[in-house]
């Protein structure tokens, strides 16, 4: 804060920077005290610039993940095995579009426009969850996305319902309710295949679990000691539980579910540790994670080009909506 104020020395009156520093310091102290007290911060409240930027980064990445996350599943809408599964899948994908909209709206309250956020996605400057850069090769992948990917998402997102930034926290409450349905439908689809299916269907489920397990663990982000954003995000109550702790909670919750399902998790080092009261698990291949995050995963190019195409194909809709809004405004003015 002081450094910023000193940068303006000479450009403003001598008192101005000092006064602003004192004021900012006070605002900062008040903000810190509110965070310490567990208060929620609203859009119109004063906040440090870095807090604002961190939230825009995380919420917009989260929004992008929701809409890019529609693509791998969208691949299976026309090939769902029954009408019931098709209807469920369509509802889930539609929910994800809705989650994206809540989240873009929450990010917009921080003063960044939706066009700016989407431009960052389309030009490859913004990230979205690594998990959506993997292909959906069989119908079992749709079930496994529900069980593991939505399961990991819930584990990560429930604590965000208590995020210090109120518009994000409010959006997350509704999102989490829907994610819970998403996870259950995936588990249910897998359970039916495992318990009532053929050997080939069971093998298909196992193959999907083998391919999605490790990328699901990577969703929680790098290990705590390699997570540059964690310290401040935890300090500010944006993140409530660390990447590693959430990953551990996910593993602990998922192992018994795999047992009920009758699938093997593809990790020979996975075993209960009585002393820790947690499951130990094998080493994650972080080089794969960084490669995918860096844009070089199995489907990065396909996902991005699908989003850019959707944006370009939708240009006439945006144009028509603007013309219609202008027409209505003109009519209202004439009628007034």
67/64 Cα distance (integer angstroms): 5
Q: Please identify which residue in 183, 243, 248, 254 interacts with ligand BYC, judged by CB under 6 A.
A: 243
Q: Tell me the window of 22-30, 44-52, 148-156, 255-263 that interacts with ligand BYC (CB under 6 A).
A: 148-156
Residue nearer to ligand BYC on the CB measure, 194 or 238:
238
Other Cβ atoms closer than 10 A to 187: 20
Least gap, CB of 37 to ligand BYC (angstroms): 23
326/298 Cα distance (integer angstroms): 44
| Residue 20 CA: distances (Å) to CA of 2, 34, 173, 236 | 9, 21, 37, 23
**Binding flag, residue 65, ligand BYC (CB under 6 A):** yes
290/306 Cα distance (integer angstroms): 22
**8-state DSSP, 86:** H
Q: Please identify which residue in 163, 219, 241, 304 interacts with ligand BYC, judged by CB under 6 A.
A: 219
**Binding flag, residue 225, ligand BYC (CB under 6 A):** no
The distance from CA 2 to its chain's CA centroid, rounded to whole angstroms, is: 34
Q: Please identify which residue in 129, 164, 206, 216 interacts with ligand BYC, judged by CB under 6 A.
A: 129
220/248 Cα distance (integer angstroms): 10
Residue nearer to ligand BYC on the CB measure, 262 or 294:
294
Structural contact between residues 263 and 209, judged by C-beta atoms closer than 8 angstroms = yes
**Binding flag, residue 230, ligand BYC (CB under 6 A):** yes
Residue nearer to ligand BYC on the CB measure, 245 or 252:
245
Structural contact between residues 146 and 182, judged by C-beta atoms closer than 8 angstroms = yes
Q: Please identify which residue in 118, 142, 149, 209 interacts with ligand BYC, judged by CB under 6 A.
A: 149
Residue nearer to ligand BYC on the CB measure, 64 or 263:
64
Query: Which parts of this chain interact with ligand BYC (CB under 6 A)?
Result: 57-58, 61-62, 65-66, 69, 96, 127, 129-130, 149-150, 153, 156-157, 218-222, 227-230, 233, 239, 243, 293
């Amino acid at each position: 804060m002081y450094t910023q104020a000193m940068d303006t020395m000479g450009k403003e009156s001598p008192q101005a920077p000092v006064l602003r520093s004192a004021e900012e310091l006070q605002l900062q102290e008040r903000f810190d005290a509110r965070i310490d007290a567990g208060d929620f911060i609203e859009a119109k409240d004063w906040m440090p610039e870095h807090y604002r930027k961190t939230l825009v980064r995380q919420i917009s990445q989260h929004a992008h993940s929701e809409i890019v996350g529609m693509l791998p599943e969208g691949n299976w809408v026309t090939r769902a095995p029954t009408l019931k599964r098709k209807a469920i899948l369509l509802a889930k994908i539609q929910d994800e579009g809705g989650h994206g909209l809540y989240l873009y709206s929450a990010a917009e309250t921080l003063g960044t426009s939706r066009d700016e956020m989407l431009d960052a996605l389309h030009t490859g400057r913004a990230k979205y969850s690594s998990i959506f850069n993997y292909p959906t090769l069989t119908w079992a992948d749709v079930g496994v996305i529900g069980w593991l990917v939505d399961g990991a998402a819930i584990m990560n997102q429930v604590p965000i319902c208590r995020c210090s930034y109120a518009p994000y926290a409010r959006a997350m409450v509704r999102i989490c309710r829907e994610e819970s349905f998403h996870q259950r439908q995936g588990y249910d689809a897998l359970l039916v295949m495992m318990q009532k299916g053929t050997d080939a269907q069971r093998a298909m489920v196992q193959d999907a679990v083998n391919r999605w397990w490790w990328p699901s663990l990577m969703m929680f982000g790098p290990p705590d000691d390699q997570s540059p954003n964690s310290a401040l995000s935890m300090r500010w109550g944006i993140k409530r539980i660390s990447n590693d702790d959430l990953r551990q909670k996910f593993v602990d919750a998922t192992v018994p579910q795999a047992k009920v399902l009758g699938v093997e998790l593809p990790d020979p080092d996975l075993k209960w540790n009585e002393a820790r009261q947690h499951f130990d698990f094998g080493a994650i291949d972080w080089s794969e994670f960084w490669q995918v995050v860096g844009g070089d995963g199995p489907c990065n190019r396909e996902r991005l080009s699908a989003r850019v195409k959707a944006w370009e194909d939708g240009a006439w809709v945006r144009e028509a909506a603007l013309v219609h809004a202008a027409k209505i405004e003109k009519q209202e003015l004439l009628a007034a």
